[in-house]
Amino acid sequence: MTSRQPPRRSLVTGANRGLGLEFARQLLAHGDHVVATCRHPGRANALNQLVGEHPGRLHVLPLDVGDPKSHAELARELPLVMDGIDLLINNAGVLHSGERFGHVPPANLDDSLRTNASGPFLLTQTLAERLVDGATVANLSSVLGSIASTASFSTPSYAMSKAAQNMATVLLASALRERGIAVIALHPGWVQTDMGGSGAQITPVDSVRGLLKVIDGVGIGDSGTFLDYRGKPVPW
Ligand code: NDP
């Protein structure tokens, strides 16, 4: 007799478009039970269409990652649709382009730090009790947040916020290690999304396929590392 594994329970932030939407698609194709979160579920047409295609396996819940009250509401609603989280993908992110030294708007910096760094850190802290022992937390970072790889003044709000997120990844890895929960930073490549633009190198399909392969292979020994979508280490 063969024993069937129960479906993985996965939660994705920023799942209404771009890489988040593709994560939801591929996780569903893989057989996962998925909670896909976004700021405005009523307007998330592509996601809502997926709900119809996967009845009972996809739930769309509201979440603004920059708002801790929204984190708390999600934590309250979550048990109604999912009894634990095996995989948390902190995907939502923002990039303010066109910033020049001397003219970086404080609001850009605040928004970037809140969305890209504080957001994933505080959400993971809030959801920690819902993460099962042995779970994986994947934080979508960027090579632009790699201090070691930075040679010019470019996208400062984004770069600083992703560098701060990288520190959050290492700290969360340390805090959750004793429960066997692996926390990793991931660079998805330069991807054709609204953020990456149409001239980017790879498609969301290829990026997410690679990222999920990396996630599937992650063990507690990899916790606190920074990997790209091919599994190659990225310098901090
Ligand atoms: P997109 O700009 O295409 O999508 C961003 C997603 O994040 C949207 O769903 C957006 O929702 C959501 N989001 C933004 N702010 C918030 C918020 N406050 N609360 C909830 N959701 C929010 O970006 P990508 O899909 O390309 O990027 C996904 C992740 O990958 C990001 O973290 C990004 O930094 C990272 N990345 C992407 C690269 C690329 O080349 N594309 C390269 C390196 C890293 P809404 O529609 O409501 O704005």
Residue 3 pLDDT greater than 90, yes or no: no
The tens digit of pLDDT for each residue in 167-182 reads 999 999 999 999 999 9
Residue 1 within any structural domain of the chain = no
Residue 186 within any structural domain of the chain = yes
Residue 158 within any structural domain of the chain = yes
pLDDT at position 58 is 98
Instruction: Calculate the dihedral angle through the C-alpha atoms of 150, 216, 198, 94, rounding to the nearest 10 degrees.
Output: -60
ipTM summary value:
0.99
Number of domains, the chain:
1
Which neighbouring-strand residues pair with 10? 34, 87
Residue 63 within any structural domain of the chain = yes
Write out the residue range of the structural domain in which residue 192 sits: 9-228
Q: How far apart are the CA of 64 and the centre of ligand 1, in A?
A: 12
CA distance 5 to 103: 54
Which protein residue's CA is at the shortest distance from atom 33 of ligand 1?
Answer: 93
Q: Which atom of ligand 1 is nearest to the CA of 192?
A: 41
- pLDDT, the chain, mean: 97
Residue 2 pLDDT greater than 70, yes or no: no
Contacts of 25-33 with CB under 8 Å at 24 or more apart are 25/50, 25/208, 26/205, 26/208, 26/209, 26/212, 27/87, 27/212, 28/53, 28/54, 28/57, 28/58, 30/212, 31/7, 32/7, 32/8, 32/57, 32/87, 33/7, 33/8, 33/9, 33/57, 33/82
Q: Given pLDDT bands bounded at 50, 70 and 90, which one contains residue 41? A: very high
Residue 185 within any structural domain of the chain = yes
Residue 75 pLDDT greater than 70, yes or no: yes
Residue 20 within any structural domain of the chain = yes
Q: Give, for ligand 1, the residue of 22, 23, 37, 39 to mutate: max count of ligand atoms closer than 8 Å to Cβ.
A: 39
pTM, whole model, 2 decimals? 0.98
User: Residue 185 carries which DSSP code?
Assistant: E
Q: Which atom of ligand 1 is nearest to the CA of 19?
A: 25
The residue type of 27 is L
Q: Give, for ligand 1, the residue of 19, 65, 89, 190 to mutate: max count of ligand atoms closer than 8 Å to Cβ.
A: 19
CA distance 197 to 183: 28
Which protein residue's CA is at the shortest distance from atom 36 of ligand 1?
Answer: 142
Above pLDDT 70, what percent of the chain? Answer: 99
Residue 2 within any structural domain of the chain = no
pLDDT at position 126 is 98
Q: Which atom of ligand 1 is nearest to the CA of 66?
A: 18
pLDDT at position 4 is 72
Asked if 107 and 96 touch (Cβ cutoff 8 Å), the reply is no
Find the residues whose C-beta lies inside 6 A of ligand 1.
13-14, 16-20, 38-39, 63-66, 91-94, 115, 140, 142, 187-188, 190-191, 193-196, 200
pLDDT at position 185 is 98
Structure-block tokens of residue 14: 């920023």
Q: How far apart are the CA of 144 and the centre of ligand 1, in A?
A: 14
CATH of the domain at 116: 3.40.50.720
Residue 165 within any structural domain of the chain = yes
Residue 209 pLDDT greater than 90, yes or no: yes
pLDDT at position 5 is 83
The tens digit of pLDDT for each residue in 102-161 reads 999 999 999 999 999 999 999 999 999 999 999 999 999 999 999 999 999 999 999 999
CA distance 103 to 166: 25
The tens digit of pLDDT for each residue in 50-65 reads 999 999 999 999 999 9
